[in-house]
């Protein structure tokens, strides 16, 4: 399907079925959305985008949903062993930045499964340059709302070389930092691609000497590309882009989810102990080792409940931008009252309107999940779900949620993320106890939300007290 070129107009954010969305439109142009209610702009330049997209946006979004309902209009812009080595032998706890460690862990998992490549040997206390760059990508992107809003309109201006030169000349610290991060990621992606291509051009024996023995995603993709017809074959630059895409899509999302669940478990010792008991019992039944087979791991009921509740209440990605490629009529889950007092059950969406599904709000809608929708309660998944959840037919690929989206734009790696989360919890909880440090942790809005110590710090971090239960 052809997607029309984006025109320089403001976005409309609207709800799809039970998904809370917001909307912006082009000033000075009549629209069917002019009659849609919503909060007044707080700035003539940035409208409501600063509040909706800012780091500390959660209260604003919740208030907007309570006051204007499920649809409203907004105004827009013109490794286990490595951790053991760092704990005191006496059994006392040590404070570790689990966000950093989980980022390094998920990056290594992606590297081995996706590219047959290792990024980290975990011998250093600090992550490498590439891991640091990837971890900084989304927080750095969030520092300039103006750049993020204008970027889709600027990417088609001139040649790539021209755009590169323009970026180099922009005298803004945040822009140059973003350029450096992008350069680090691109250079490593090129290195990985060239190594895989060289190994593939040798023989099968060369691939067997690599991590994964040539069964990683990139090796499979390269083989398929060699066999494709000329018109279907992907050029090298697109294949290189897949490396960066897989890393960005899979590292922070899962790492931040693991860090979040460790924080929750540190604050809910009862849940941590119950989950640990289930894991240790399963290991004992399998002979007392340290690992479980895939089927056994996926059958653990409380682990499954904890993971589902994590993805429901704390999705790493809370909003995404989509664009209507044609005029359409959007059916609503319930009628809404327009500014002129009329009630409508479907909303006209003009071509070019930008839609922003607010997945997080859908997952905690009390009309669906009940009065305890905003509470973290894994036991809800061990009980029959509310009838409203079953009847809503939420168009997500996972457990009546929008966490991983749905349709042909759904998260391709959502199954991989579930298994990854369970494997990491299996490894960590059998050996370590996690407790809070007492430091305030703030979760900041970004394409992938991230934690900091307090709201002022700009450095992603999540310190926890970690103690060794058994070597």
- Residues that constitute the known binding site for heme: 411
Residue 376 CA: distances (Å) to CA of 157, 159, 363, 386 = 47, 49, 12, 16
Q: What is the DSSP letter of 115?
A: I
Distance CA(230)–CA(213), nearest Å, equals 28
Question: How long a stretch of residues is the chain?
Answer: 471
Tell me the pairing of strands 432-435 and 450-453. unpaired
Query: Crossing angle of helices 269-285/301-313, nearest 10°?
Result: 140
Q: What is the DSSP letter of 111?
A: I
* Exposure class string for 215-242: b at 16+ Cβ within 10 A, else e: ebbbbebbeebeeeeeeeeeeeeebbeb
| Stretch (H or E) spanning 335 | strand 328-337
Distance CA(91)–CA(96), nearest Å, equals 15
Residue 437 CA: distances (Å) to CA of 163, 264, 299, 462 = 45, 12, 33, 10
Query: Degrees (nearest 5) of the Cα angle 164, 168, 172?
Result: 130
- The SS3 assignment for 205 reads helix
Distance CA(37)–CA(69), nearest Å, equals 10
Q: What is the DSSP letter of 3?
A: P
- The SS3 assignment for 88 reads coil
Q: What is the DSSP letter of 1?
A: -
Query: Degrees (nearest 5) of the Cα angle 281, 285, 287?
Result: 120
- Greatest alpha-carbon span in the chain: 72
């Amino acid at each position: 399907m052809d997607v029309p070129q984006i025109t320089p107009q403001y976005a409309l954010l609207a709800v799809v079925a039970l998904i809370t969305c917001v909307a912006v439109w082009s000033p000075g142009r009549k629209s069917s959305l002019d009659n849609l209610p919503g909060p007044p702009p707080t700035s003539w330049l940035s409208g409501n985008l600063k509040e909706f997209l800012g780091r500390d946006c959660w209260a604003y979004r919740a208030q907007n949903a309570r006051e204007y309902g499920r649809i409203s209009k907004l105004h827009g812009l013109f490794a286990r062993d490595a951790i053991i080595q760092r704990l005191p032998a006496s059994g006392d706890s040590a404070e570790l930045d689990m966000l950093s460690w989980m980022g390094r862990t998920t990056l290594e998992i992606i590297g081995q499964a996706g590219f047959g490549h290792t990024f980290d040997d975990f011998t250093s206390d600090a992550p490498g340059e590439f891991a640091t760059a990837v971890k900084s990508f989304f927080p750095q992107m969030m520092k300039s709302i103006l750049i993020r809003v204008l970027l889709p309109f600027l990417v088609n201006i001139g040649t790539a070389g021209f755009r590169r030169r323009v970026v180099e000349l922009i005298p803004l610290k945040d822009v140059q930092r973003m350029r450096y991060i992008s350069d680090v990621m691109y250079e490593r992606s090129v290195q990985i691609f060239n190594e895989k291509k060289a190994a593939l051009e040798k023989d099968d024996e060369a691939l067997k000497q690599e991590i994964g023995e040539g069964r990683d995603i990139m090796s499979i993709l390269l083989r398929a590309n060699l066999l494709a017809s000329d018109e279907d074959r992907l050029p090298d630059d697109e294949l290189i882009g897949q490396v960066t895409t897989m890393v960005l899509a899979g590292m922070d999302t899962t790492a931040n989810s693991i860090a979040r669940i460790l924080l929750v478990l540190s604050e809910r010792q009862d849940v941590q102990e119950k989950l640990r008991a289930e894991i240790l019992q399963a290991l004992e039944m399998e002979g007392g080792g340290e690992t479980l087979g895939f089927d056994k791991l996926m059958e653990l009921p409380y682990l499954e409940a904890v993971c589902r509740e994590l993805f429901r209440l704390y999705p790493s990605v809370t909003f995404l931008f989509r664009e209507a490629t044609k005029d359409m009529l959007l059916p609503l889950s319930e009628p809404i009252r327009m500014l002129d007092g009329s009630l409508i059950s479907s909303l006209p969406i003009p071509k070019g309107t930008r839609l922003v599904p607010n997945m997080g709000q859908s997952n905690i809608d009390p009309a669906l999940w009940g009065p305890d929708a905003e509470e973290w309660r894994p036991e809800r998944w061990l009980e029959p779900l509310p009838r409203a959840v079953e009847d809503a037919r939420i168009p997500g690929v996972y457990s009546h949620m929008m966490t991983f989206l749905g349709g042909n734009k759904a998260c391709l790696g959502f199954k991989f993320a579930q298994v990854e989360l369970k494997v990491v919890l299996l490894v960590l909880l059998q050996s370590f106890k996690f407790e809070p440090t007492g430091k305030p942790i703030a979760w900041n809005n970004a394409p992938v939300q991230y934690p900091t110590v307090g709201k002022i710090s700009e450095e992603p971090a999540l310190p926890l007290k970690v103690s060794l239960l058994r070597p």
